[in-house]
Amino acid sequence: MKKVKRILTIGCGVALLAGIGAGCCNSPARSADGQTCGCAAKKDSLEIIMNIPLKIKPEQVSAYKVAFEKCQAGSLQEEPCLAYELYQSYTDSTEFHLFERWKNKPGHLAHMQTPHFNQYKEETRDMNDQAKAKMITTYVCPCVNR
């Protein structure tokens, strides 16, 4: 019985992290204090956490940082934006990770239509040094993580 429970728990966790299901076995999520959380029923109400790896051409690193900072300033003003950070590798100055956290999917989709994001896309269009790397997107229920 213990083994079955462990397999179900792992399977539900993987399904939630992969964004496959809105919750485990269609049951509502619960916060640490036992309160029912409605986000498990609607995927659009889940928080979105994104890790986007980037490899920038060496001669474009400075220009990329400037373009990002402009986009970051506008993004952090958006109500659904919870975090918008850029991390540069200590060992490879051309390797970055863009970390984004959004209140919900509609908020993130609206962000991708903003003038500052469109300007960022235009300014950084030819700065990537390789094919697009695998972006990691995770959907989480915010009340469960309190």
The answer to whether residue 73 is domain-embedded is: yes
Range of the domain at 18: 2-140
Structural contact between residues 36 and 28, judged by C-beta atoms closer than 8 angstroms: yes
Amino acid making up residue 36: T
Please indicate, yes or no, if residue 99 is contained in any of the structural domains: yes
pLDDT tens by residue, the chain, 146 residues: 444 344 333 344 444 444 444 443 334 555 555 555 655 557 778 999 999 999 999 999 999 999 999 999 999 999 999 999 999 999 999 999 999 999 999 999 999 999 999 999 999 999 998 776 788 999 888 776 65
**The domain spanning residue 95 has which CATH number?**
3.30.70.100
| Tokens encoding 11 | 């399977």
pLDDT value at position 40? 56
Whether the CB-CB separation of 146 and 45 falls below 8 Å is answered with no
Q: Does residue 146 lie in a domain region?
A: no
Residues 85 and 72: their CA atoms lie apart, in Å, by 7
Q: How many CB atoms lie within 10 A of CB 137?
A: 14
Cα-Cα-Cα-Cα dihedral sign, residues 113, 142, 28, 135: positive
Q: Is residue 117 part of a domain?
A: yes
What is the reported pLDDT for 107?
95
Q: Is 113 domain-assigned?
A: yes
Q: How many domains does the chain have?
A: 1
Answer yes or no: is 145 within a domain.
no
Spatial CB neighbours of 110, under 8 Å, sequence gap ≥ 6: 78, 80
For 141, the token pair is: 């229920």
Distance CA 7, CA 77 (A): 42
